[in-house]
Structure 1
Amino acid sequence: MRSEQYVLLEEEFGAHNYKPLDVVLERGKGVWVWDVDGKKYMDCLSAYSAVNQGHCNPSILRAMVEQARKLTLTSRAFRNDQLGLLYKELCELTHSHTVLPMNSGAEAVETALKAVRKWGYMVKGVPEDEAEIIVCRNNFHGRTISIISFSTDPVSTTGFGPFTPGFKVVDFGDATAFEAAITERTVAFLVEPIQGEAGVIIPPEGYLRDIRRMCDEHGLVLILDEIQTGLGRTGTMLAEEHEGIEADLTLIGKALSGGFYPVSAVLSNAEVLGVFKPGEHGSTFGGNPLACAVARAALKVLVEDNLLANAREMGALFIKGLRSIDNPKIKDVRGRGLLLAVEFHTDAGGARQYCKRLKDAGLLCKETHETIIRFAPPLVITREEVEWALERIVPVLSE
């Protein structure tokens, strides 16, 4: 079938909760993908950073196939030979003490919310059912009911109430506002080191260090959502490393499987996740042997293929090219590593028009918040491929 026929099938039989560009992809390799009509594109979205290791990475594929032939699922009613190894390797890479595996990023966030509430009652002594968690305006942590309960995006919240209580919202990047919101019932602060879905919003230098200090002074759990920023995307294993801090709970997902399988995890000091007792939290698929084998291979690729250093070097080249664009409609160009954004003024007619033109030129990216284009290619991208991308992006965005 041709692309148009696949699009019609989706429109007729699928729920209309997405608005994708009309390109129908059927295979991928590295930074490249091909549609059903045979046209080749460079992927500059990486499935929102889930394929940091490149499409169909052969090392991860090999691990997945080998494990799938042996054992895929046991549930956590029994142990398997992959879970303990993943725990050890994750802890060594991220300086964590304890790991709790889940499937999706949203499940990791929900796990953290439950853990810090229980920690607040058991350890900090907050009265039962009165725990407060501080979050940031323009956050994006997922789409479950509890998570959208503290979203400030009306698209995410309209028509979905009533909402889960217990959250306070402050401005991102404002450490003073965060400290002013703390009360005796506050148990945690949940924040993205860089707000990805909001448009690659980078906080002021020192912000993460300030909130780390304030959490220590007030006895709060610092939760960093690194589901999009972690695992090499910004040029370090975790984005927290740019300011030399360590969170109490760190949430990872997406690239934890290299795009092969839904895998997420909550990384913690021993105290917070220690509040969970058998039967209080879990997942049938969380920590299954197939997921663990895939995640172990995905982590190994990040390290052995030097993808963190490549993200730093190629990100510097990429952003230099983006900043060379001469267009008065561009408001800002920003980024860290290979998480980059071009923001247009509100009178520029929207960012989607540029995404469509770039698709026609053979490069795939996606707008966010109407005025921003996010560029986040797989971390395996080469210098020649960055230059190829810029040869198409610069003229299109200069229009």
Structure 2
Amino acid sequence: MNATSPSPRAIVEVGGEKPYAITIGPGLLDDGALLGAGLRGRHALLVSDGNVAPLYADRVTQALRAARPDVRIDGYFLPPGEASKTLAHFAEAIDALAATGATRDACVVALGGGVVGDLAGFVAACWMRGIDCVQIPTTLLAMVDSSVGGKTAVDLPQGKNLVGAFHPPRAVIADTEALLTLPPRELRAGLAEVVKYGAIRDAAFLDWLEDRADALLAGDDAALADAIARSCRHKAEIVERDPFERGERALLNFGHTFGHAIEAEQGFGGLNHGEAVAVGMVLAARLSARQGLAGEAEAERLAALLARFGLPVALPGGLDPAALLERMRLDKKAAADGLRFVLWDGIGAARVVAGVADEAVLAVLEK
């Protein structure tokens, strides 16, 4: 894996059996040659949602058609929000591909945040047992996390991302100018996943984030581009070595066991993903302290940084700890020997811990 300078355009290469590039920079949504490079056949389905499509769908379609006039480009647009990441909308997107007449060299183009990317990627994984997918993330969270690595899925009422597949994209194209239209809450949600990389493997990056918190919150182009590139490099290094999450990649789930349980228990209508992960990381850090792995002071430092980014750091009111525990039992990260959590030995040093006692988890939740 290698990378160029993050300004004005950074390219992070993801190696492995199916290598691809993450291109980061301004103005990429109008770069038809870049967008069209991932289209091998004559059919493409642009998947987006009701928030993003009015802003960017026409621009992307026009750029693609200018570069690839031979390609038929159809669209499928979801209602916005996690509640749309369902088997029902997956089936509708599959029907849209069928109506397009998509062949095995067709491409699904995912234009949006994590919900769009996850669902569109799963559609691409399943149509004719796998076609190309180009990820064009428009949220910070999707740029630094969900668009990279090939995890695709939809939710069930019982839990998040329970039906899915590993399906690496053909390319990831992150236009940093899209962040200018991002609501402040969504920008903050993405910063939670950025903080995660410092928490689990790069203490110096966490220092950097503390120093540049104000610039990041203000939407400073250079700071955001640097944060995105650094985060993508971390994820690329991990998924190259562990594409199917059989080892090291599990560390990327720091905070997610708690976070996914919170999202599901709230019916995917309360905290958004980044906010739930922020709370989950604080709970995981405190569980680490309770297990004697790390100090409480480090958990409080993490909580302080997340709070500075305007993120929640405490369990929302009205949630039953016992109900959350039951949600965690169905989480993909659970195993036969009991609950498994990504915990840490301190900032920058995470590990997977199996067989964590229910009582310890409940004690953290109840506190």
Place the TM-score, normalised by the shorter chain, in its bin. Answer: 0.3 to 0.5
Say which one has the larger Rg: 1
Structure with higher helix content: 2
The structure with higher relative contact order (CA 8 Å, sep 6+) is 1
**TM-score, length-normalised on structure 1?**
0.35
**TM-score, length-normalised on structure 2?**
0.37
